[in-house]
């Protein structure tokens, strides 16, 4: 009886020892190398282009970059740019601002020797961009309500929303949607007409510029008491 008990115990230990050897063989105690991470895109160069261009827009177009996002997997699929501004623009000025911004940014991205290899589609077009510009001035929201309150570009559609576009009780144009290529054509044709017919003559230039929050009577008074500067009006 005792001999049988010892035999069973020895068999059980042998079985467990074999199981431990199998586990040790699979697990091992050697060091494993971490997976090699491959760089999907050159994020540094994309960031450099966005930030340097946004500084140009800040000084020349009065646009402040609020946020930017690059959407990608193995390639860049879409780029989003969010701006704010204190300027007051009508629909034509808003179109010109969007067209100038988008055209130059696309030229910078498509012409960059590092970035163009990371683009999901080449060349990048307006359909591959998202652009949002918010106009935040007090004058814009409480005085000149027919001015543009927001510009957006998404999936190739440009939208121009009036400052009273979300709360309009009287006559207002609210919102206008058009394909980006239409906005671009409108501005191109308008500039062609200006080049042909706009007189290129000197005119009196008010040192107060075209600040629209000054009412007409106050402007007349200021013009009488202030010195006048003879110069070419900037375009």
What is the spatial distance between Cα 95 and Cα 151, in angstroms, rounded to a whole number? Answer: 9
pTM listed for this prediction: 0.68
Q: Where are the domains of the chain?
A: 43-198, 199-235
Whole-angstrom Cα distance, residue 198 to residue 192?
A: 10
Question: Nearest Cα to 40, choosing from 78, 79, 76?
Answer: 76
Instruction: State whether residue 153 is helix, strand or coil.
Output: strand
Residue 156 CB partners (closer than 8 Å, separation 6+):
125, 126, 127, 179, 180, 181
The rounded mean pLDDT for the chain is 80
Q: How many C-beta atoms lie closer than 10 Å to residue 111's C-beta?
A: 10
Lowest mean pLDDT among 66-80, 99-113, 159-173: 159-173
Average pLDDT over residues 185-198: 95
pLDDT at 125: 97
Distance CA 165, CA 26 (A): 67
**What is the reported pLDDT for 172?**
56
pLDDT at 108: 97
Least confident of 21-25, 112-116, 118-122: 21-25
Q: Residue 48: pLDDT band by 50, 70, 90 thresholds?
A: very high
Sequence-ordered list of residues with C-beta below 8 angstroms from that of 226, at least 6 positions apart, any chain: 206, 207, 208
pLDDT tens digits, one per residue of 2-24: 455 445 555 455 555 555 555 55
**Pairwise CA distance, residues 42 & 60, whole Å:** 28
Compute the distance between CA of residue 174 and CA of residue 169 in angstroms, rounded to an integer.
Answer: 11
Q: Is the pLDDT of residue 105 over 70?
A: yes
What 3 state SS string does 192-219 have?
HHHHHHCCCCCEEECCCCCCCCCCHHHH
Backbone angles phi, psi at 226, to 5 degrees: -100, 150
Look at residue 231 in the predicted model and tell me its pLDDT.
40
Average pLDDT, integer, range 46-58: 97
**Residue whose pair of structure tokens reads 């009036």 in the numeric block:** 162
- Looking only at the bridges linking them, the beta strands covering 148-154 and 76-85 are unpaired
Average pLDDT over residues 40-55: 91
Identify whether the C-beta of residue 152 lies closer than 8 Å to the C-beta of residue 132.
yes
pLDDT of residue 5: 44
The predicted-structure confidence for 123-157, as pLDDT tens digits, reads as follows 999 999 999 999 998 888 788 778 899 999 999 99
pLDDT band at 181 (very low <50, low <70, confident <90, very high): very high
Query: For residues 41 and 64, which has the higher predicted lDDT (pLDDT)?
Result: 64
**Residue 155: which region, alpha, beta or left (left: phi > 0; alpha: psi -120 to 50)?**
left
Do residues 117 and 166 lie in contact, with contact meaning Cβ atoms separated by under 8 Å? no
Q: Is the dihedral of CA 23, 25, 30, 33 positive or negative?
A: negative
């Amino acid at each position: 009886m005792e001999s049988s008990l010892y035999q069973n115990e020895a068999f059980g230990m042998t079985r467990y020892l074999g199981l431990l050897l199998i586990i040790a063989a699979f697990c091992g105690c050697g060091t494993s190398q971490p997976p090699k991470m491959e760089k999907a895109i050159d994020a540094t160069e994309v960031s450099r282009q966005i930030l340097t261009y946004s500084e140009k827009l800040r000084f020349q177009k009065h646009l402040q970059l609020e946020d930017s996002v690059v959407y990608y997997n193995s390639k860049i699929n879409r780029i989003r740019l969010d701006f704010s501004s204190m300027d007051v623009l009508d629909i034509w000025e808003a179109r010109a601002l969007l067209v100038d911004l988008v055209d130059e940014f696309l030229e910078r991205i498509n012409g960059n020797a590092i970035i163009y290899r990371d683009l999901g589609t080449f060349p990048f077009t307006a359909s591959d961009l998202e652009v949002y510009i918010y106009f935040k001035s007090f004058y814009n929201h409480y005085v000149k309500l027919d001015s543009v309150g927001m510009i957006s570009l998404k999936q190739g559609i440009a939208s121009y929303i009036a400052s009273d576009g979300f709360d309009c009780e009287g006559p207002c144009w609210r919102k206008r949607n058009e394909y980006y290529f239409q906005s671009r054509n409108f501005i191109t044709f308008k500039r062609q007409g200006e080049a042909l017919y706009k007189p290129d003559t000197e005119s009196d230039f008010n040192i107060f510029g075209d600040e629209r929050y000054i009412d007409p009577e106050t402007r007349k008074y200021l013009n009488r008491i202030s010195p006048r500067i003879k110069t070419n009006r900037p375009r």
